[in-house]
Structure 1
Amino acid sequence: MATGRNHRPATRSRGIPEATVARLPLYLRALTALSERSVPTVSSEELASAAGVNSAKLRKDFSYLGSYGTRGVGYDVEYLVYQISRELGLTQDWPVVIVGIGNLGAALANYGGFASRGFRVAALIDADPALAGRQVAGIEVRHVDELESIIDTNGVSIGVITTPGGAAQQVCDRLVAAGVTSILNFAPTVLSVPDGVDVRKVDLSIELQILAFHEQRKAAEALASEVSEPLAPDATPRGPGRDQGPDGDIPAVMPA
């Protein structure tokens, strides 16, 4: 099986927009779920709904892959799974190293979805000598001094950084110098990399802040809706005159 070092995904050479590339994993996840249920074909509307996009955007995205479906039938699920997997490079073997085996790094090492999606955790690396030699998810933790030799021996081109923020840039520099050209960064810092190196940052705090924004907006909309609701026919009027009697005069008994 080919390794990641010698093969790059075909997306850039075929001119597929980055926005489309970002949506391909969403389509693949939805298609994989359909495949597991033995669904043979799917319409663009059904697949778009499952992936959370509109059908026109989905059809445009698939046109870059040369897949247009069949009128009245839809798309062949198994073929699309293969086509998107191939376009993303998931039909190859991508050895990955995870640097920083704290709680998050260990959790990623135990994630069972890597192998089924074309990724193999080739090594777990940490700077703590006390962790060296320990087994995590059946893989021996190696000391960071071995980083360069591990990358060279396994042909690694993808690195995952789960170190504290202060150590991330140094780790990144060593990964790049050793030949890694794609980095998934979980550390709470922005990495500086040379041209030709791709970095994807996963920041859970940012995602939570975005969710907080939406929650605040929904609460504000709900409050505005309550304020603007019309009064029931027998409801007491609001605003000036709300304490007036039925004939418009002041009630004989005022509140204390």
Structure 2
Amino acid sequence: MSADPTLRREIPDATVARLPEYLRTLSRLAEEGVLSVSSEELAAAVGVRSAQLRKDLSHLGSYGVRGVGYEVETLALEISRALGLTEDWPVAIVGMGNLGHALASYSGFVTKGFRIVALFDDDPALRGEVVQGIEIQPFGHLPRRYAADPIAIGVIATPAVAAQTVCDALVDVGVRSILNFAPAVLSVPDGVDVRRVDLSTELQILAFHAQQKALAQGALAPLDSLDSLDAQGLASATGSGPVVTT
């Protein structure tokens, strides 16, 4: 059961962040031939409470059918529409190191509404290299490339020192959505959306949880029970040691 899309309320950011997880699970269920799923089953598969799932989906105007649940393919399409994945979003990647190459070669983009249209890097050694049928160009060609085929999303996969300059250039030509893999906080004007993917931060969070589990199991001694800490080691752990430039 779906409500008129024009009647939908604004979807909260927290709900938007969960919608891709719902969609991923629904896509898997569809591949397995599942036709319908209850809110309890879908919530358990995603790892949220069923009440939260029903609240999230109510923002889409979808309430399911009592005693039947949600039609898997219909709900997947509805979430795809809400996320804008039924459109064709042209994407440019700036920075063609190992990460940039991996992103450009990811086949999942094509099936999820994204189309890589441009690759940029100023390394002369990469000039003219072709990745998945797209030639790597100098970043100075960005305005010309944008004029030929406007870019909806810019992906920054450069070192941190270059990230803000790249971001500014993307914004200047008209890009309003940026995915930033560089370990840097970007400053952008109003109307530009930036999503930051910080792999080191995610690893540090996982390290924290691993440490907590080890402490609970007695595999590690609590920090305050240690007689002393090596000063240099503490400085390294807290980031207060000397800065080394390379």
Mark yes or no: TM-score above 0.5.
yes
Q: 2:186: which partner in 1?
A: 191
How far apart are the structure 2 equivalents of 1:150 and 1:35?
38
Per the alignment, residue 201 of structure 1 pairs with 196
Unpaired runs of 5+ residues, structure 1, are: 1-9, 225-256
Q: Does 1:110 align with 2:127?
A: no
Using the alignment, how far apart are the partners of 2:93 and 2:45 within structure 1? 31
The residue that corresponds to 2:168 in the other structure is 173
Aligned mate of 2:118, from 123, 130, 134:
123
How far apart are the structure 1 equivalents of 2:57 and 2:167?
34
Aligned partners of 1:80 and 1:194: how far apart in 2? 35
Report the counterpart of residue 22 of structure 1 in structure 2: 17
Which residue number corresponds to residue 37 of structure 2?
42
Point out 4+ residue stretches in structure 1 off by more than 2 angstroms.
none
Deviation at 1:150, TM superposition (A): 1.2
Q: Which residue identity is paired with 2:169?
A: R
Matches of 2:156 and 2:75 in 1, distance apart?
32
Corresponding position of 1:71: 66
Q: Distance in 1 between matches of 2:31 and 2:136?
A: 34
Mapped partners of 1:35, 1:155: distance in 2: 34
- Cα distance in 2 between the residues matched to 1:19 and 1:115: 26
Q: Which residue of 2 aligns with 1:161?
A: 156
Match of 2:57 among 62, 70, 86: 62
Deviation at 1:133, TM superposition (A): 1.1
- The structure 2 residue matched to 1:216, chosen from 186, 191, 211, is 211
SS of 1:177's equivalent in the other structure is helix
Tell me the equivalent position of 2:230.
none
Alpha-carbon distance between aligned partners in 1 of 2:32 and 2:150, rounded to the nearest angstrom: 36
Q: Secondary structure of 1:146's partner?
A: helix
Question: How far is 1:222 from its partner?
Answer: 1.6
TM superposition shift of 1:100: 0.3
* Partner Cα separation in structure 2 for residue 156 and residue 127 of structure 1: 19
CA distance 1:211–1:169, change in 2 (3 Å): same
Secondary structure of 2:20's counterpart equals helix
Listed as ranges, the gaps of 5+ residues in structure 2 are 220-246
2:94 aligned partner: 99
The more displaced of 132-141 and 167-176 is 132-141
Cα distance per residue 1:209-241 (max 9 Å; x no partner) = 0001111111111229xxxxxxxxxxxxxxxxx
- Aligned partner of 2:27 among 29, 32, 45: 32
Q: Secondary structure at the match of 2:194?
A: strand
For 2:237, the equivalent position in structure 1 comes to none
RMSD, matched Cα: 1.5
Task: Please give the alpha-carbon distance, in whole angstroms, between the structure 1 residues aligned to 2:94 and 2:139.
Answer: 8
Instruction: State the secondary structure of the residue aligned to 2:17.
Output: helix
Amino acid at match of 1:170: T
TM-fit CA distance, 1:87: 0.5
In structure 2, C-alpha distance between the alignment counterparts of 1:123 and 1:210, rounded to whole Å: 33
How far, CA to CA, are the matches of 1:196 and 1:66 in structure 2?
A: 27
Query: How far apart, CA to CA, are the structure 2 residues paired with 1:142 and 1:44?
Result: 48
Instruction: Give the greater-gyration-radius structure (CA).
Output: 1
Q: CA deviation at 1:152?
A: 2.4
Q: State how far apart, in whole Å, the 2-side matches of 1:69 and 1:14 are.
A: 18
The structural deviation recorded for 1:139 is 1.4
Q: Distance in 1 between matches of 2:108 and 2:213?
A: 34
Tell me the distance in 2 between the aligned counterparts of 1:48 and 1:152: 44
